Structure 1
Amino acid sequence: MDLKLDIKASEIMSTRIVTIEMDDRLTVAKEIFDNAPFHHLLVIEHDELQGVLSERDFLRALSPNIGNINETERDTETLQRRAHQVMTRNPVTISPNHTIKQASELLLEHGIGSLPVLDRKKLVGIITWKDLLKAFSS
């Protein structure tokens, strides 16, 4: 059996997490997605995880005319929506002591791209499918 499957989530998770608030407008998310190399924002309220806003969720919520010549005021207004209106609620999470095998199974089972890592309800990191690929490849 490959010992890599026993690696703990805490060993590969990214602790550089970016959070936004439930009531932040999508303009905030757009700014982050446009300037950062990641694709998942963790949505919090009172320092507790409430949801995940993936770049895919974000793009699905926007008008396809944003940024092109056909853009109208109504299109621009889609950026004024709030994070809680677009995010995935009750996200699937994992604890730092779960294995990367368990993390992989959760991502596949739920068809998702990231897992917030919670230690006693406190947000401590995030694992994405890219983190898992790196762990299995090294």
Structure 2
Amino acid sequence: MARRVHEVMTGNPVTVGKSTTLAEAARVMRDADIGDVLVVDGGRLRGILTDRDIVVRAVADDRDPAETTVRAVCTTDPVTVGPDDGVDAAIALMRRRALRRLPVVTGDGALVGVVSLGDLVVEQDPGSALAAIAAAGPGNGHGNGPDNGRDS
């Protein structure tokens, strides 16, 4: 039987509000040992922020991380999947859009998790060296690499 996203996703993803400063978001990432946070407002997904976003979109442009908010540099319309979507469909979407992570939202827009490339590698090929690295890595694969589809 085909596996569903909710079976492999990371539930309760790390989130921040859109008015959180980049400095605080970076501390959240450091403390959780991850490379991204999901941006929420009222329990609804509003964006995704990666460590690379902070560096490329803020620090490289001389923005003050203590003053700049997440809203100013995050990806505000991330590609998402539903919890009942098939794992194969999520993999195809990630491949087609060159994504490393997908927030998981319900039909009414509530954020319920995130599925990462690492989660899917472990699911598809649990015996591979890449799966072993993803399973042992920080944040269970939820964090390293480019943001939700945008490299700059």
Coarse TM-score class (shorter-chain normalised): 0.7 to 0.9
**Alignment match, 1:81:** 68
Match of 2:80 among 93, 100, 110: 93
* CA distance 1:115–1:78, shift in 2 (3 Å): same
Matched, 1:46 2:42: yes
- Rounded Cα–Cα distance in structure 2 between residues aligned with 1:79 and 1:112: 28
Q: Please state whether the residue corresponding to 1:89 is helix, strand or coil.
A: coil
Matched, 1:15 2:11: yes
Q: CA deviation at 1:75?
A: 5.1
Q: C-alpha offsets along residues 65-123 of structure 1, whole Å, 9 cap, x if unaligned?
A: xxxxxxxxx95724421101111011100001111111111112222211111112111
**RMSD of aligned alpha carbons:** 1.9
Q: Please state whether the residue corresponding to 2:104 is helix, strand or coil.
A: strand
TM-score for the superposition, normalised by structure 1: 0.82
- Rounded Cα–Cα distance in structure 1 between residues aligned with 2:19 and 2:92: 32
- Rounded Cα–Cα distance in structure 2 between residues aligned with 1:50 and 1:76: 21
* CA distance 1:27–1:78, shift in 2 (3 Å): closer
Counting aligned pairs with the same residue, the percent is 25
Q: Give the structure with higher Rg (CA).
A: 1
Q: C-alpha offsets along residues 24-54 of structure 1, whole Å, 9 cap, x if unaligned?
A: 1001111012222222211011221111112
Structure 2 regions of 5+ residues with no counterpart?
Answer: 127-152
* CA distance 1:26–1:99, shift in 2 (3 Å): same
Answer yes or no: is the 8 Å Cα contact 2:8–2:123 preserved in 1.
yes
Q: Please state whether the residue corresponding to 2:103 is helix, strand or coil.
A: strand
Q: Please state whether the residue corresponding to 2:45 is helix, strand or coil.
A: strand
Partner amino acid for 1:20?
V
